[in-house]
Structure 1
Amino acid sequence: MPELSRRHVLALIPATGLLTVGLPLRALADEQADRARLLTNTVAILAGTAEVNQRPEAAVKLAAIQDTARAYLTQMDQAGPSELFAGVPLGENDANITQSYNRLLQIAVATRTDGVESELVGNTDVQRRVIDGLDWLHENYVGDQAAGYYGNWHNWEIGFPSHATRTLVLLADQVASYRPDLVGTYVATMDAYLRNGIDGDVDLDSRFHTGANLADITTNRFLQGALLGDDARISKAIADQSTVFATIDPYHLEHGNTDGYYADGSFIQHHSVAYTGSYGKVLLGRIAQTIKMLDGATSAGGDALVAVVQAWVTNGFAPLIFEGWMMEVVKGRAVSRTTTGYVDVRAVAEAVVDLAGYAVGDDATAIKGYVKFLNDSSPVSLNPDSFASPVSVVRFADIVADETVPAADLNAAARNVAFNAMDKTVHRRPGYAFALARSSDRISKYEYMNGENLMPWFQGDGAHYLYLAGQDQTRAFGVDYFTAVSPYRLSGVTAPDGERRTIPDLYGQFWYENPDHPLAFTSSSESQNTYVYFPRGTNQVSGGASLGAYGTAALVLSDDVAHVDKQAGVLPEDFVTYPNARATKSWFMLDDEIVVLAAGIAGGAGRGAVTTLDSRIADPADGVEVTGALADGAAWTGDGVAPLAWVRWENPGEQAAVGYVLLDSQEVTVELERVTRSRRVVRASNPNTSVTKDVFSVSVDHAADGAHALAYALVPNAGPDQLAGYSGGPLQVLANTTDIQAIKQAQLGIVAANTFTDGRHQAERLTVDGPAAVVLRQQGRRLEIGVSDPTMGREEVTLVIRGRNRGLLSADDGVTVGQVTGGTSIVVNTAQAYGRTFTAVLEV
């Protein structure tokens, strides 16, 4: 993956110039023309151009823009006291202030859609009405700094300034003649509300000015600079924004910032939340817009940084998109929203469409081919009419119509990706994709905030999502999955017996309030983030290794930091925490199956625990069928508790099936129940719509009498004969303890192991100095080896492969291969590798 350090990025910025995708503006002999081009480009993004707007492909988008503006103008006519728009009361609700500015923006856009036959286009009366609305909002609700800045900081620093700034850009000529003081007045006010900055400007040391948030703020500021003719402001804003291109080096952090893209494709926001599918896509879109805004005001070139952004798509986004669906493991609190999944990918697709205009050669072909692939592979249309820009709608149409570009995924058909920097793993095969959510003392167990994702407690404790090819994922996952499935029975989770309460239930509001405590708990304080919104785990082991298309992942369950600190007396007495279950867990990801081992399972505190092998939802009309076989070989059908060899869930309505093979002796609970719940159980602002689903679960209960173990395999798309064939078949569990977990798949020639404790651990011909994650695969006379440090803190990992000495064919830097008595030693320098897999190939 192309990487740029922050030093490299900043070196591309001239002392007095501007940066767009790493390039300075022309020598600023005509600074005014450059600023005008920036503003013209921005208007084109928002409202299209006369040429673009004549294209038939843009007609639906443009008609929607006009209809929306007319509806908002009617709402202005009907507004009551303390309203600019009917039904959007102001004065106490900060979100309504942002919404009011957004509606003014949408009206302004409609007046600038050149080439469209509409009474609104070029209508100076309507434009001045928008300007009057800006003036009225400022006079009554924004201009008074003492009265403003209540509720969510985002509305004051990003929300309303984004809409107000773009409105001023769209109506720049009218503002200049009608209210020439308005731009300066607004910019001064927006600077004053930038309270997490320094003197009304960005502070790169601020936890609020990172990642997608930084991109939003800086885009506002360079547009404001163009309106004011302030080149210093533009330069500073673009220089600040350029830092998001830099690959995060966790061992040498700049400004203490952990938010952004990592070498392995991970993306983090809020310093510890895996967020590619929400903030990550926002950042991708903002960067694509910046490229378009500054297009033409630069000299030629810029391939280096365009390649970086394209690598975000290839290595960061593409693995997480399955048949047009954004996976749940990287969406934080957004998993509880009703507009997620396919809608998320539309935003990514628009950014990729825009990026395609700046890539060249094979890169351009690849990224255009991916746009086509996203469009073709999704059961739900990408719907370019939902794109933000008419220009993007037309560019999309041109790409789809280009017969010289073949549709092609950026993923190989078989791919395993260890996003160890954000504690996530993705495993892909032609018929399915498996996504695993882990957590650690670096990465949050979940994200809850502002009444969103109300019951998230186990989402980072090994929860998995098994996506089957050909399914409409809105019927299998998304908000309805979290609504219908118990939060204690998420797929793959080991949870303790007992119930928890949501934050609103505990404290009567969306956060814990205690400003008088030394930790100063307020709605957006660091303590709120640490202990309420996105608490980290307290375990170090969470990682895995990828070897080609195969992989392993390891996780040790832990209490979250809130519970540990509460026991230590750090938190207030009335702050409620919960202890977690204990387990050491491994996932071994192969071709036909994912093997899961768990050891040391205990509920703790005198409690039992339950491990849910899987939970799946289906529409009642689908007619789900459950079959299976007892451990003694006898047939079994129906739910209940029994010693099973395998279970099979089939959804005839979706032509989907999953099998579950028990690799040890267990009493298995199988349930199929109809559940009806409101979507508000997971998000307070969701429509109060009831969802009815048939919820299937297969689980194993663990008594409160010590530590337990469990071994099973998930087999996507399996038939009964295939499941029956696992009895004495190619899978073998070599070890399943809290020290080492290992399996062998004879047909693939794979031996894989995770070790969790110090010391040497043995599995078949392999001895590993733990903790480590190891995958071996022998094909003919080639023995391939992949090794990773799941703690991210070890200096080196050593393993010995017993048997005849083997010759070295190739090895990554940092891998040393030698001979020892009875075998071959491999020493891997894992210092500052941050979970990266090191590989070597030996000749047998």
Structure 2
Amino acid sequence: MTAGAGFDAAAEPYRTRLARLGSTAAAYRDLMAPGGGSLWPDLPFPSFHDTPARLRTMARAFALPGTGLTGDAELGQAVAAGIDHYRWRVYAAGAKAAGNWWNWEIGVPKRLLDAAVLIGPHLAERQGAALAEAVDHFVPERRLNDYRGNSTGANRVDLCTVLLLRAVLTVDPGRAARAAAGLSPTFPYVSEGDGLYRDGSFVQHTFVPYQGTYGAVLLSGLATLFAVLRGSPWEITDPNRQVVYDSVERSFAPVVHDGVCMDLVSGRAIGRHPYGDHRRGRAIAAAILLLAETASAAERSRWRAMVKGWAARNTHQPMLGAAEATDLGFHARLAAVMDDGRIPPAAEPAGHRLLAMSARAVHRRPGWCAGLSMASDRIGHYEHGNGENLRGWHTGSGMLYWWTEGHGDQYSDGFWSTVDPYRLPGTTVSTRRLPDGAGASWGDTCPPGRWVGGATDGTYATVGQHLNGLESTVEAFKSWFFLDDAVVCLGAGISGEDGVPVETIVDNRRTDAFLAVDAAGHWAHLEGHGGYVLPDGDRLRASREQRGSGPARRTYVTLWFDHGVDPVSAGYVYLLLPGADQAETRARAADPGWARVLVNTSRRQGVHVPSLGITAVNFWSEGAAGGLSADAPCAVLVRERGDGTATLTVSDPRRDLSELTVTWDRPVAEVLRGHRLLARATTGAKLTLSFGRLSDRGGGSVTVTVRIPPG
């Protein structure tokens, strides 16, 4: 698994790639010059990443066929000498673990042990014993005794991998058993902290949605260990392992769009690399194809079709070509899938996924996709750490990402290094200047707002955020109503006392496309991207600017509302129309009844869309709107289906209701399908539904189906 497998070394592109690996390894071998402060002159110690990585590259060239150095004794001995030198000078038993713990317990030992195992007997017994002693010093077996702190989620899987490699190095069956058993705490669903949640959320560092990096590491690590240990005395048989298989479609697929992993689940890693979202999408795809090898036939069939669809639609950084350059094992698996005519490429599934426990939402309709990033009392505004993502301050202030056909690189190509961090699309923010790394590190930037989430029937959704700004006095109530071809966006109660303007950023697109703005102020259109409708004729400000320097300069078109300095109860209404042309945008602006705003205050926000039979209200407090009433804060989505039935979907975004009563002022004949939390239902001239402990749902939705009389 470490070296790569499943391909014909004599066939292209593997023959060329393997020969290149051999040339690289030979150069590393020839340039190695062990000294007091380095193993290579250009990599002064501690060189936690690059020096162990070079040793592993050399070991892969030794182990893989077709490199020209396969089984080469001189190369094997050079790797062994390099491992021992680095162990002696840096990674020695008793050395002080200065800096980031991860280097000492995961990063360094994983690479050194990979290299040591790959060169086999060329690592002398003395050298192997010294490396094992060093690993035992930094990663003792007792590290797995408690599932807490840095030994949870993806970190736990990595620690178990280190322990298993250590067991292989010294032929230690007991340690191998401990490593396998140590995986079990990562399997069950969690209700707080790090791990997988029933609603599809994945959290690491306590406060950060993280499918994109830590989640991918967890999935890849488990897929690898499931495969390595299959058929051995330590095969993973814990029945809770099914949670891992379920997470492919529950947790990971929802946040991948056309092979791109959305940045809203990638924490501080968002600005790490150009096209980093594509790179993370490939890592998830690679993990899924590997996990498929130990999955059921039905799961394997669905997952291969899904990954094939991602690869077929990702034209900005083709997945197969990128895999060829980085991971030959993944390339071989993906090439086999792409060449298999019996596997159809699966389309993007239309629908809505609300990940309430991580304050995230993803909406898919034919031709477009949107993702929403919020902050709550349990999810931080943003994460910074290790000097990364120092200006991601407002990514949790209601950032609305959206993609249409042909724009899969909208947030990829230099976006994070050039975008105005005070004007992220969808957000409402104070323009108060913030220092780099404002707020606590590692995602511990949770605001006090608890009403964050919404209700979804799986197709449409009403989502809301009680926003409290990061290190500012800004407060706002923001709602998004996700529909077929539009997102209706409402803001109310927008206030601030920072002595600076407060803005809502309607959009900030990385493009030089033509912007058309209606003279009457009722619509705007960005050619090739989509349209914006302003039902109230609010003054929309616009700018076009180039940001960055040198080859990293990018052009942005920004649209925003200026709520003024220290606003009191300001608001906004706009419709986002992804993919709409100018004629469609004008037509929607000329039809104000298409989406009627029922209420837009700090107590309630709601809309009615007659053509879809939708009435949706976010109740920030008890009250009534649009024929709906609720006796406690909640979200309600009603959908009249046109076949004599309707659904009422409710949720408790604050996760604290022991009971809730919702009334719909509409004749209802009977309840066709209830829910275990539905305590009482009264039909007739109006419908009254009383629910029990919605708090037990973790912000999840409950749907009741009723029959309504004609007329």
Normalising by the residue count of structure 1, what TM-score does the alignment of the two structures yield? 0.79
Q: Deviations over 1:196-227 (max 9, x none)?
A: xx775324343111111111111110121123
Shift of 1:435: 0.5
1:843 to 685, 704, 707: 707
Q: What pairs up with 1:754-833 in 2 under 5 angstroms? A: 754-757=618-621, 759=622, 761-780=623-642, 781-819=644-682, 822-829=685-692, 830-833=694-697
| Amino acid aligned to 1:207 | G
1:229 to 171, 183, 186: 171
Residue 692 (structure 1) aligns with = 553
> Does the 8 A contact of 2:425 with 2:506 survive in 1?
yes
> Does the 8 A contact of 1:817 with 1:824 survive in 2?
no
Q: Does 1:84 align with 2:39?
A: yes
Q: Does 1:624 align with 2:624?
A: no
Q: What's the RMSD between the two structures over aligned residues?
A: 2.3
Q: Deviations over 1:696-746 (max 9, x none)?
A: 111111123522111111011112222222332311000000010000111
| Amino acid aligned to 2:334 | F
Q: How far apart, CA to CA, are the structure 2 residues paired with 1:268 and 1:533? A: 11
Q: Does 1:553 align with 2:463?
A: yes
Q: How far apart, CA to CA, are the structure 1 residues paired with 2:322 and 2:231? A: 25
Residue 77 (structure 2) aligns with = 128
> Does the 8 A contact of 1:276 with 1:330 survive in 2?
yes
Q: Deviations over 1:503-532 (max 9, x none)?
A: 4xx8xxxxxxxxxxxxxxxxxxxxx9x556
Counterpart of 1:370 in 2: which secondary structure?
helix
Q: Does 1:209 align with 2:155?
A: no
Change (3 A) 1:301 1:107: closer
Q: Percent identity?
A: 28
Q: How far apart, CA to CA, are the structure 2 residues paired with 1:154 and 1:450? A: 11
Normalising by the residue count of structure 2, what TM-score does the alignment of the two structures yield? 0.94
| Amino acid aligned to 1:126 | L
Q: Deviations over 1:71-126 (max 9, x none)?
A: 3224315x765121231101xxx4x1332111111101101113x151x2111121
1:186 to 107, 114, 131: 131
Q: What pairs up with 1:49-88 in 2 under 5 angstroms? A: 52-77=8-33, 82-88=37-43
Residue 407 (structure 1) aligns with = 345
| Amino acid aligned to 1:614 | D
| Amino acid aligned to 2:221 | R
Which is worse superposed, 260-269 or 225-234? 225-234
Residue 484 (structure 2) aligns with = 591
Change (3 A) 1:288 1:205: closer
Which is worse superposed, 298-307 or 235-244? 298-307
| Amino acid aligned to 1:393 | H
Q: Does 1:101 align with 2:52?
A: yes
Shift of 1:57: 5.0
Unaligned regions of 5+ residues in structure 1, if any? Answer: 1-41, 251-257, 507-527, 561-577, 632-643, 651-655, 678-688
Counterpart of 1:742 in 2: which secondary structure?
strand
Residue 521 (structure 1) aligns with = none
Residue 328 (structure 1) aligns with = 263
- Runs of 4+ in structure 1 off by over 6 angstroms are none
Change (3 A) 1:478 1:812: same
2:362 to 414, 422, 426: 426
Shift of 1:749: 0.5
Residue 307 (structure 2) aligns with = 371
> Does the 8 A contact of 1:447 with 1:534 survive in 2?
yes
Q: How far apart, CA to CA, are the structure 1 residues paired with 2:578 and 2:698? A: 31
Residue 34 (structure 1) aligns with = none
Q: How far apart, CA to CA, are the structure 1 residues paired with 2:138 and 2:357? A: 34
Residue 143 (structure 1) aligns with = 92
Q: What pairs up with 1:290-305 in 2 under 5 angstroms? A: 290-297=225-232
Residue 466 (structure 1) aligns with = 402
Counterpart of 1:191 in 2: which secondary structure?
helix
Change (3 A) 1:353 1:803: closer
Unaligned regions of 5+ residues in structure 2, if any? Answer: none
Change (3 A) 1:303 1:395: farther
Change (3 A) 1:730 1:55: same
| Amino acid aligned to 1:208 | N
Shift of 1:498: 1.9
Q: Does 1:720 align with 2:582?
A: yes
Residue 435 (structure 1) aligns with = 371
Residue 102 (structure 2) aligns with = 154
Change (3 A) 1:169 1:580: farther
Q: Deviations over 1:743-764 (max 9, x none)?
A: 011110100110112x3x2112
Bigger RCO (CA 8 Å, 6+ sep):
1
| Amino acid aligned to 2:14 | A
| Amino acid aligned to 2:197 | Y
Q: Does 1:672 align with 2:544?
A: yes
Change (3 A) 1:532 1:248: closer
Counterpart of 1:135 in 2: which secondary structure?
helix
Counterpart of 1:163 in 2: which secondary structure?
helix
Q: How far apart, CA to CA, are the structure 2 residues paired with 1:98 and 1:657? A: 41
> Does the 8 A contact of 2:454 with 2:652 survive in 1?
yes
Counterpart of 1:747 in 2: which secondary structure?
helix
> Does the 8 A contact of 2:432 with 2:472 survive in 1?
no
1:275 to 210, 220, 227: 210
Q: Deviations over 1:437-491 (max 9, x none)?
A: 0111101110111111121111101011111122241xx2136222222111110
Which is worse superposed, 592-601 or 365-374? 365-374
Counterpart of 1:713 in 2: which secondary structure?
strand
Counterpart of 1:832 in 2: which secondary structure?
helix
